[in-house]
Every structure is written in C-alpha cells, then in structure tokens.
Amino acid sequence: MATAVALLAAVSCSAEDEAAQRGSQTGPLDGGPEVRESDQTGPGQHDDAAEDEPTDEPYEPSEGFEEIAERLDGLPGDVEALVIEDGETLLQLGDGSPAPLASVSKLYVLAALVEAVEAEDVDWTDQLEVTDQVRSLPSGTLQDQSEGYTTTVYDVAHRMTAISDNTGTDMLMDLLGRDAVEEAAGEFGHHDPQLLQPFLTTRELFQLRWGLPELGEDWAELDEPERRQVLEEVSVEDLEITSEDTSEHDLDFAIDWYASTEDIAALHRELAARAEGQPELQEILVANPGLADDVEDPWWEALSFKGGGLPGVVTGTWHAQSEEGTERTVVLLLRTEDTDDIAEHRTELFSLALDALIAGTDTERENDDA
C-alpha cells in the first residue's frame, strides 16, 4: 500500500510524416496517453509500461481531494502524489522521496533545450538528422525514418512531448550534450541533480535493461564514475533488440530517472514561466493534455502534460494555468510490482489526476449521455 496523498509551418516533415506521427508506435518506454484527433486522450493508449489493453470498465469520478487521496493510497505499491495551487498544497501523499519517472524525465531534456534557445546557441528552426547512432525504440515515429532524414528542432521537441518520441529525445540530447541536461536539472529546481547523473538516453536505458543486460545488472551498486564508464562501453554497441524483446514484467527500478514530486512541480512551473516569452515552447508544452476524459468549460487557459511508464512504473504530471494566472500542478508517481494489472492501475491514476485538476472548480467531465 502507498504511504500517507506556430512554428508548425516551419516543420520539415511532410503530411505523410505528420499522419505517421499521429499513429506512432508504442513500446516499453512511452509517455502515457497520446494525442488523439480530438486532442483529448485516455490512459493506456500509449504507455511506457508495455502494450497493455486499456480496460473497458468505467471508473467513477471521485468527490474531492479526500477521496482522491484514499483511492491513490489504495493502489498497490508506492505512490508519491502532490497537488499544488498557487503555492498552497491541496493534496500530498507519500513521504516526498524521489521516485522513478520514466518518460516524465524528458521534461529535463526540454529544459536544457530552452536554456540553449535562450542563450541563442540553438534555434527552433535548426535542422536535426536521424542517424543510426541515435536511433532508439518506440514510442514515437522518428525511429522509423531512414538514415539522414532531417527535420527541425521544433518538430523533434514537439514529438518528444506530444507522442513521447524516444529517438527524438536522444536526437536532442546528442545536440545539447548530456552535461547540459544534467545542469538544467538543477537550474529547473531538482533538489538533488546528482540523482540524475549520468542522465541516460532512452537508447542507453533499452541497452542496459534488455539489449546488454550484463552491463546493467549491477547499476544500482555503481557510483557515478563507474556508471559513466559502463555507458562508454554501451556507446560502441549496436542496438540489436526490438520492442518485442522487452517485457512489461521485467522490473528494474534502478535503471530509470529519479525526482520527487516537488522537483517535478518546480520543473513544470519553471517551464510555464519560460514559455511566456517563447510561443514555440508554449505550443510544445500544450501539445498533449493527457486527460482521461473530455471536460466541459475547462477553467484553465493552458494545460501541459508529460506522462510515462516502464514495467511497474506509471507516472502522470500536469500543469494548468488560467487566464487570470491561477496555477495548479498535479504530480502522480506510482511504483508497483503488480505488473499483471498495470493497465487498470494506470486508468485509475489518470482518472484521479483529472479529478485533482478540476476539484473545487466549475469544470466537470463531459456527460457521455448528453
């Protein structure tokens, strides 16, 4: 049990590429719900935990933060949860310990990109190239592009957030450098950036956990220099596995990215603040709302989301901001050994996240019978 709560015109991909992006592949490292044509999403469509079928069983909305906390606490495993509105804690569950993030970690790559754009070292229109050296596994679509395919930094960052493109993430890390991402973690509020060092690419995670498991088996016991040496060994090896070589039941909580709910809340707030001067960043942040259901009269003007999952890990994080400036941040992180029912746990977690976003407001879920 858990312990006690428009630069789109400049994108170089073709119409066919954009259609493929909307139909991206899923895999063991994904980003939670994917954008649907309606721009609303439900849990279990594309989640890092594996290719689980979403449950058809309807989930009853909760009635306020007390019930949200009780139901989160009823999920098997360890839950870290935080809901903050304008500095006031509305819900907190867990002891605040760092937890595995899965694809939520991609927000730190986005943060490093923001720093580089602000320093004028990178422009949103700069071109990036798909190479075999950065090609990763799904989720995403860029892994399916041929060697030498080029597109803009903006497009790659958009795919990284909207469809949790793993190859796109690694393309940005190759551009920025691992050290820049590690530095950005501290700049954007991580309480202990060393927890993210060395900051893994998605390809490295796949290699350590499935491609070259003999190199990753002692990861938890290695210090930072030893881990960096292992990554040097990984870097010269080809990626010879596919998503079919992975399993939703292969638990390994050590090989992941770690942060606390407070860290992720701070990261979301800082990204939102930086977006005020960067319309491209704003578009990227709101590309996928990650909602479990459609809502009527949303109180927010902008809603950003990043989710994730790996075997035994389900994460969902949101930042909503109203036209008047009210901000509410929801961070839910689940770690569980119950991989058999991970789809049901994910559906419950994302449903409760929506409840946490609208609790105490005039916004309601849409009535399917209306």
- pLDDT category of residue 12 using cuts at 50, 70 and 90: very low
Which amino acid is located at 349 in the chain?
Answer: L
DSSP reduced 3-state for 281? helix
Say what the pLDDT of residue 230 is: 98
- Angle at which helices 261-275 and 106-118 cross, to 10°: 30
> In the prediction, which pLDDT does 41 show?
30
Q: What is the mean pLDDT of residues 60-67?
A: 92
**Phi, psi (5° rounding) for residue 305?**
-150, 145
Is the pLDDT confidence value at 348 over 70?
yes
Mean pLDDT score of the chain = 88
What does the pLDDT read at residue 25? 60
296 φ, ψ to 5°?
A: -100, 135
| Amino acid identity at 370 | A
Residue 358 reports pLDDT greater than 50? yes
Segment 331-357 shows an average pLDDT of 97
Give residue-wise pLDDT tens across range 211-241.
Answer: 999 999 999 999 999 999 999 999 999 999 9
User: Per-residue pLDDT tens for 272-323?
Assistant: 999 998 999 999 999 999 999 999 999 999 999 999 999 999 999 999 999 9
pLDDT digits (tens, 9 = 90+) for 91-106: 999 999 999 999 999 9
User: What is the predicted pLDDT for the residue at 34?
Assistant: 56
Report the CATH fold assignment for 7-363. Answer: Beta-lactamase (3.40.710)
CB 311 within 8 A of CB 249: yes
Residue 77 has what pLDDT? 96
pLDDT tens-digit map of 36-46: 332 333 333 33
Q: What percent of the chain has pLDDT over 90?
A: 82
Q: What is the model's pLDDT at position 92?
A: 98
| pTM of the predicted model as reported, rounded to 2 decimal places | 0.88
- The pLDDT, as a whole number, for residue 57 is 56
Burial of 137 (0-12, 13-18, 19+ CB in 10 A): buried
